Amino acid sequence: MKSFNKKYYFLLTIVLILVFFGIYYSSTPKKSLPIFTPRDVNPELVDTTVQHIGYNHIIQDFEFTNQNGKKITQKDYENKIYVADFFFTTCPTICPKMTDNMVWLQEQIKNNPKVMLLSHSVTPDIDTPEVLKNYALEKGVIDSKWNLVTGDKKDIYYIARKSYLVVKTGKPEELYDMVHTENFVLVDQKRRIRGFYDGTNIEEVKKLLEDINFLSQE
């Protein structure tokens, strides 16, 4: 009888433990990431011509030239998670820190085939493919993971303001004014924006990495 009671209490204990963990995990909020549209973003950072859009916002088709003189389009990022930013090689202020943090991020994701990086020069007349190549070599850019791109200034500024939602334009004539933003933009496999992060802040970039890893598991 005593042996039976011991077995009974042991089994009861196991059942209670399983019930406890079942309740705990079912009640613990599951991580999720928002899907950003222009309507979700601070109006000060959204071009006035797209502020009304509240659904189905995706990064538009693009074509730029990378550090190796290769044409880069949305096809190169098809079904990829990627991080986009805007910089220029001669920037003396926020860009060096942003690039250092992107280099750190590259090291973290270099073995993840689902993830890539995309940096747009906002001084494309200066940042030719040759200039970008020298910059890439200096920074240790892995060509298969990270494209530094140049191209038509209007196309770069247009996509920065109307697709990536990183700089506001108040008037039509300001559309091609200087883009200078610290934002790293997280884009998912369906070309949707899933997050904005301060690229000058390593703690923010670590949070970005967590979110990349989360998307990689979806």
pLDDT in tens, the chain (218 residues): 555 555 555 565 665 556 555 554 444 457 789 999 999 887 777 777 888 888 899 999 999 999 999 999 999 999 999 999 999 999 989 999 999 999 999 999 999 999 999 999 999 999 999 999 999 999 999 999 999 999 999 999 999 989 999 876 655 555 555 677 899 999 999 999 999 999 999 999 999 999 999 999 97
Annotated binding site for Cu cation: 91, 95, 180
- Determine the Cα angle at 38 with ends 84 and 74, to 5°: 35
Decide if 10 is inside a domain: yes
| Together in a domain, 94 and 17 | no
| Together in a domain, 88 and 129 | yes
pLDDT at 13: 64
| Together in a domain, 84 and 186 | yes
The CATH number of residue 201's host domain is 3.40.30.10
Q: In which residue are the tokens 């906002």 written?
A: 122
Annotated binding site: 91, 95, 180
| Together in a domain, 87 and 9 | no
| Together in a domain, 175 and 96 | yes
Q: How far apart are CA 18 and CA 38, in angstroms?
A: 45
| Together in a domain, 6 and 74 | no
How many Cβ atoms are within 10 Å of 168's Cβ, its own excluded?
A: 16
Decide if 33 is inside a domain: no
Q: How far apart are CA 19 and CA 144, in angstroms?
A: 48
| Together in a domain, 7 and 52 | no
Residues of the domain holding 87: 38-217
How far CA 116 is from CA of 55, 158, 191, 212, in Å, comes to 25, 22, 13, 10
Decide if 57 is inside a domain: yes
Q: How far apart are CA 145 and CA 140, in angstroms?
A: 11
Overall domain count for the chain:
2
| Together in a domain, 130 and 202 | yes
Model confidence, pTM: 0.83
